[in-house]
Chains A and B, each alone.
Chain A
Amino acid sequence: QQPVQSPQAVILREGEDAVINCSSSKALYSVHWYRQKHGEAPVFLMILLKGGEQKGHEKISASFNEKKQQSSLYLTASQLSYSGTYFCGTEVSGGSNYKLTFGKGTLLTVNP
Chain B
Amino acid sequence: DSGVTQTPKHLITATGQRVTLRCSPRSGDLSVYWYQQSLDQGLQFLIQYYNGEERAKGNILERFSAQQFPDLHSELNLSSLELGDSALYFCASSVETGTGEKLFFGSGTQLSVL
Contact = CB atoms under 8 A, between A and B. Distances in A.
Chain A's interface size range is: 20 to 34
B100 interface: yes
Interface of B is mostly: strand
The residue among A40, A99, A100, A102 with the most chain B CB atoms within 10 A of its own CB is: A100
B55 A100 contact: no
A31 B58 CA distance: 18
Interface stretch (B13-21, B64-72, B73-81, B105-113): B105-113
Contacts of B2: 41, 43
Interface residues of B, number: 25
B24 interface: no
Given A42-B90, A42-B105, A47-B102, A98 B42 contact: no
Given A41-B2, A41-B90, A101 B102 contact: no
A42 B102 CA distance: 11
A99 B55 CA distance: 9
A41 B108 contact: yes
B32 to A, nearest CB: 13
A86 B44 CA distance: 15
Interface of B: 2, 33, 35, 40-45, 48, 55-56, 58, 90, 97, 99-108
